[in-house]
Amino acid sequence: MSQKVAELLLRLEKRLDRSAIVSADEAGPRYREDPDGKTGALPEFVLRPRTAGEVSDILRLCNEARQRLVVQGGRTGLAGAARIQP
């Protein structure tokens, strides 16, 4: 994990419940695959916000850190978002 990502994660940990931050190992392979079965990049971590305020905090902090993110919602689309390579 890069220093930039580690710093962002520390900032997120101050704003979110610990259960809302899941490591890639904890999340498993489903976050690197789309329903079409093609494998994509493994995320460094997965965020599971529970409120609109948490979503807002995540977006603000990622924007401040200039960190890209992929929104997966209900994971019902076939757009290939999990296959975006860094």
Please name the residue that has the structure tokens 């930039």: 4
Do 34 and 78 form a contact (C-beta atoms < 8 A)?
yes
SS3 at position 59:
helix
Provide the CB-side half-sphere exposure for 61 (13 A, CA).
Answer: 20
What pLDDT does residue 33 have?
72
Which parts of the chain sit beneath pLDDT 50? Answer: none
What pLDDT does residue 1 have?
81
What pLDDT does residue 76 have?
58
What pLDDT does residue 10 have?
94
pTM here is: 0.75
Contacts of 32 (CB under 8 A, 6+ apart): 24, 39, 40, 41, 42, 43, 82
Phi, psi of 28 (to 5 degrees): 80, -175
What pLDDT does residue 39 have?
73
Q: Which domains does the chain have, with CATH numbers?
A: 3-72 (3.30.43.10)
Q: Which of 29, 58, 59 is nearest to 43 (CA)?
A: 29
What pLDDT does residue 71 have?
79
